[in-house]
Amino acid sequence: MTEAAKTVTPEQQLDLYRYMLLDRIVEETMTKLFRQNKIVGGLYSSLGQEAISVGTTYALEQRDWIAPMIRNIGGLLVKGVRPRDIFTQHMARYTSPTLGKDGTSHFGDLKNLHIVSPISMLGDLIPVMTGVAMAGRYLGQNIVTLTWIGDGGTSTGAFHEGLNLAAQQRASLVLVIENNQWAYSTPVSRQVPIEHLADRAKAYGCRAFIVDGNDVEAVFTTAREAVRLCRAGQGPVVIEAKTMRMRGHAQHDPAEYVPKEMFDYWKQRDPIESYERKLVAAGVLTGKIKKEILDAINAVIEEDRAFAENSPFPPPELAETPVYHEGPLPIEPQWKRPVAEVTPPRSSVKSEWNVSGDGDFQADAIEPATSKSPGDAAASVGARHGVPHKSAADPLKNATPKRNGAGRASAKRASKPAVRSRGRK
Ligand SMILES: Cc1ncc(C[n+]2csc(CCOP(=O)(O)OP(=O)(O)O)c2C)c(N)n1
Ligand SMILES: [Mg+2]
């Protein structure tokens, strides 16, 4: 990277510092709520990893997309999610983004903030975010998508399949590997025979960077470079951020299997404390500015925590709805190129039937059968369920050669069932 690419303005520095502090205080507040038995379900911590979520998301623009995992609350905050949404969601309140139906960070915002909800199955967000990047390309949008994966998650099949797909499609995806040394109680050394997880990117022909995950400026400038490359059509880019999980897997886990010296080593490298020292030494952060930042954060936290605690739980009837989607889909495509240009298919094969709306099969698009038979009834049942039934307007069936002469003649006129004919000989 050039020196210019490493430049971070004082304004950006204070932003990075502010977001890391906000992230930490949001999560500290939730730890207290957990101990008061007010969190529904598990609670995960990104303590010591704040620089990664914050630094990478800060490199994105509003039009870009993220998909968080369990330790990426910092990314949600940078994207513009309010702490109240995070509190109410973890407390399963009716005022939460999922109306109390789901917990942790399992919510998204496809319309405004461009957040894809987490997927618990490790690795699966990689093909999904590849798909979002490809969709953006088809729509003529120059967007970048970003998601995170842990060291453990890099051993899933979905990671490898997803990364290969992204590389093959040149998708504008930034994939951040958070190497925090542990996957539950398994250290990286007992999981993979390589030192750098970034090396996995080479296998798929992807560019990769390794960065100190506790240095927020290094994370931010590396991510900004990755985003630049993606926007220039040179994606995907993998970033391995080396860091340490400073708590157990979740609140239930005291992490007694982690050597104490390891915690001591990384405690010295706390991303917020070390950045604070740097900004104070540079004269960017003063005691007065720090107080203003903390006062503003604490005011929001206090208001949003009180809002969450005073929010009701969902009414029981809500469990019945909405289980199945009814009516038109809520997301309309926003075409950035002429619809005709991007609408498939451009095929020489004439369509035999149509679908409309939510994918309903249009029975009246099929020519009515001439005779009434059980097959005809089945055809209309199939049509209702969106499944074309073979016996009605099956082009292959009509083209299948018959044993009598007329059949053979009609088979010649119809499209060639070459494989079938050869099979019969
Ligand atoms: C495909 C799949 N396998 C197993 C799990 C269960 N699981 C959830 S988190 C986790 C550990 C993940 O470790 P890592 O990827 O290093 O992330 P970290 O917790 O350290 O952030 C496991 C095994 C899962 N969610 N998905
Ligand atoms: Mg891990």
Q: Are 413 and 305 found together in one domain? A: no
150 lines ligand 1 (CB under 6 A): yes
Instruction: Return d(Cα 315, Cα 308) in angstroms, integer.
Output: 16
Instruction: Write down the pLDDT at residue 351.
Output: 61
Instruction: Return d(Cα 105, Cα 147) in angstroms, integer.
Output: 14
153 lines ligand 1 (CB under 6 A): yes
Q: Are 61 and 151 found together in one domain? A: yes
- Structural domain for 403, as ranges: 350-424
The DSSP code for 119 is -
Give distance in angstroms: CA of 243 to centre of ligand 2.
9
Q: Are 263 and 385 found together in one domain? A: no
First to last CA, the chain: 66
Count the residues in the chain. 425
The interaxial angle of helices 271-281 and 216-231, nearest 10 deg, is: 100
71 lines ligand 1 (CB under 6 A): yes
Give distance in angstroms: CA of 178 to centre of ligand 2.
7
Residue 327 lies in a domain: no
124 lines ligand 1 (CB under 6 A): no
- The number of the ligand 1 atom at minimal distance from the alpha carbon of 150 is 15
Nearest bound ligand to CA 181?
Answer: 2
Encode burial over 53-69: b for 16+ CB neighbours within 10 A, e otherwise. Answer: bbbbbbbbeeebbbbbb
Output the six-digit token pair for 295. 């006062």
pLDDT truncated to tens, each residue of the chain (425 aa)? 788 888 999 999 999 999 999 999 999 999 999 999 999 999 999 999 999 999 999 999 999 999 999 999 999 999 999 999 999 999 999 999 999 999 999 999 999 999 999 999 999 999 999 999 999 988 888 999 999 999 999 999 999 999 999 999 999 999 999 999 999 999 999 999 999 999 999 999 999 999 999 999 999 999 999 999 999 999 999 999 999 999 999 999 999 999 999 999 999 999 999 999 999 999 999 999 999 999 999 999 999 999 999 999 999 999 988 788 778 777 777 777 777 776 665 556 666 666 665 555 555 544 544 444 433 333 333 333 333 333 333 333 333 333 333 333 333 333 333 333 333 33
249 lines ligand 1 (CB under 6 A): yes
- The number of the ligand 1 atom at minimal distance from the alpha carbon of 178 is 21
152 lines ligand 1 (CB under 6 A): yes
Q: Is the dihedral of CA 96, 102, 103, 105 positive or negative?
A: negative
Residue of the CA atom closest to atom 21 of ligand 1: 150
165 lines ligand 1 (CB under 6 A): no
Residue 243 lies in a domain: yes
Residue 156 lies in a domain: yes
243 lines ligand 1 (CB under 6 A): no
245 lines ligand 1 (CB under 6 A): yes
Q: Are 154 and 270 found together in one domain? A: yes
Instruction: Write down the pLDDT at residue 348.
Output: 66
Q: Are 210 and 357 found together in one domain? A: no
**What's the number of domains the chain is made of?**
2
Q: Are 313 and 393 found together in one domain? A: no
204: number of Cβ within 10 Å: 17
Instruction: Return d(Cα 10, Cα 283) in angstroms, integer.
Output: 10
Give distance in angstroms: CA of 85 to centre of ligand 1.
24
- pTM of this prediction exceeds 0.85: no
Q: Please tell me whether residue 117 adopts helix, strand or coil conformation.
A: coil
Contacts of 30 (CB under 8 A, 6+ apart): 39, 43, 86, 87, 90
Instruction: Write down the pLDDT at residue 332.
Output: 75
Residue with tokens 């199955």: 121
Give distance in angstroms: CA of 154 to centre of ligand 2.
9
67 lines ligand 1 (CB under 6 A): no
- Residue 75: closest CA among 36, 46, 110: 46
Mutate to test the pocket of ligand 1, among 50, 119, 122 (most ligand atoms within 8 A of CB): 122
Contact (Cβ atoms closer than 8 angstroms) between residue 214 and residue 47:
no
Residue 336 lies in a domain: no
Contact (Cβ atoms closer than 8 angstroms) between residue 209 and residue 44:
no
Q: Are 17 and 100 found together in one domain? A: yes
Give distance in angstroms: CA of 86 to centre of ligand 2.
22
Contact (Cβ atoms closer than 8 angstroms) between residue 199 and residue 172:
no
Instruction: Write down the pLDDT at residue 400.
Output: 35
Q: Are 13 and 65 found together in one domain? A: yes
Residue 242 lies in a domain: yes
Q: Are 118 and 226 found together in one domain? A: yes
Residue of the CA atom closest to atom 7 of ligand 1: 122
Q: Are 272 and 393 found together in one domain? A: no
Q: Are 183 and 310 found together in one domain? A: yes
Instruction: Write down the pLDDT at residue 349.
Output: 62
Residue 338 lies in a domain: no
Query: Which contiguous run of DSSP H or E holds residue 211?
Result: strand 207-212
Residue 337 lies in a domain: no
Q: Are 12 and 130 found together in one domain? A: yes
- The number of the ligand 1 atom at minimal distance from the alpha carbon of 49 is 21
213 lines ligand 1 (CB under 6 A): no
187 lines ligand 1 (CB under 6 A): no
Residue 111 lies in a domain: yes
Instruction: Write down the pLDDT at residue 406.
Output: 38
- The number of the ligand 1 atom at minimal distance from the alpha carbon of 249 is 19
